[in-house]
Amino acid sequence: MAQFCTKCGAPLGEGLKFCTGCGATVGGPPAPAASAPAAPAPVVAAPRPAPVAPAAVAPAAKSGSPVVKIVLIVLAVLMFLGLLSAGACVYFLYRTKQKVSQFEKQVQTTFPTPTGTREVRTQPVAPAAPTAPAGPVVDTGVAIYPGATPWGGGTLVAGPTTSMKSQQYTTSDSVDQVMAFYKDKLGSTAMVTQSGGQVVVQTLGANGGITVGITSDAGLGKTKITITSIGK
């Protein structure tokens, strides 16, 4: 079988140790074939980062704490109760004023203030001792001043729904002493009205009222007490 030079490809004869064409040693390792230049590696474009989806925005929490709402409700209730109480006080004062006006008119109608001028005498005449008018004494249901004596008969008027009782008394004590006694008896709710030498002590209630008129009678030289009770 013919052999060829591994370097230059010339045919070799049998027994030759060197190539007659290029002088290369026969049987030596074949010369490495010139390798073609390696093709450049393809440029791979770097992958673009995937777009990041915007995070969902959480809805804003509703403002207003439950504690704040409760405090506001409590304040509103307190304001409402305060206005209601003020209205009730105004109404009570208005009704009280009406009652006082009614009693004052009744006292003025029942016991009018004496008017006129005193008689002037040319000769001094000793005044006759006044005597108490005749008539039955009416029990008004009100405490009688200690030591006071009835002055004449009383008045009793009874209607379908209202009754009025009135009785006069006299005492040697002063107006201030009698006033202090009835203020204590009628209680702390009693109203006192003073005009000149006259004093009126009143108390009002749902079922009626009591009026005590106290005045100094110069003709008697004593203090006169007029007790009037009105009830249902």
What tens digit of pLDDT does each residue of 124-182 get? 665 555 676 777 899 988 999 999 999 888 898 888 888 889 999 999 999 999 999 99
Tokens representing 189 are: 């709710």
The pLDDT of residue 127 is 59
The domain in which residue 192 lies consists of 149-231
Q: Which of 1-10, 82-91, 154-163, 176-185 has the largest mean confidence?
A: 176-185
Residue 178: inside a domain = yes
The pLDDT of residue 9 is 77
Query: Could you tell me which residue, 140 or 85, shows the higher pLDDT?
Result: 140
The pLDDT of residue 225 is 94
CB atoms within 10 A of CB 199: 21
The C-alpha angle with vertex 84 and arms to 82 and 90, in degrees rounded to 5, equals: 105
Query: Could you tell me which residue, 201 or 36, shows the higher pLDDT?
Result: 201
Query: Could you tell me which residue, 105 or 213, shows the higher pLDDT?
Result: 213
Reported confidence tier of residue 14, pLDDT bands at 50, 70, 90: confident
Please tell me the least confidently modeled range out of 15-24, 110-119, 134-143: 110-119
Q: How many CA atoms lie within 13 A of 70 on its CB side?
A: 3
Phi, psi dihedral angles at 158 (to 5 degrees): -115, 125
Residue 227: inside a domain = yes
Residue 15: inside a domain = yes
Q: Residues 165, 142: contact at Cβ < 8 Å?
A: no
Across residues 27-39, what is the average pLDDT?
A: 51
Beta bridge partners of 215: 198, 224
Number of residues in the chain:
232
Residues with Cβ within 8 Å of residue 219, at least 6 apart in sequence: 127, 130
Reported confidence tier of residue 31, pLDDT bands at 50, 70, 90: very low
Residue 203: inside a domain = yes
**Count of domains for the chain:** 2
Q: Are strands 11-12 and 155-158 parallel, antiparallel or unpaired?
A: unpaired
Residue 79: inside a domain = no
Residue 57: inside a domain = no
Q: Which residue do the tokens 């040697």 mark?
A: 172
CA distance 69 to 83: 21
pLDDT above 70 for 63:
no
- The CATH number that applies at residue 167 is 3.30.160
Average pLDDT, the chain: 77
Q: Residues 202, 210: contact at Cβ < 8 Å?
A: yes
Stated pTM of the model: 0.45
Q: Burial of 202 by CB count in 10 Å (0-12 exposed, 13-18 middle, 19+ buried)?
A: buried
Residue 219: inside a domain = yes
Amino acid letter, 90: V
Nearest to 202 by CA among 193, 139, 169: 193
The pLDDT of residue 34 is 46
Per the rule left: phi > 0, alpha: psi between -120 and 50, beta: everything else, 204 is: beta
3-state secondary structure of 187: coil
Residue 139: inside a domain = no
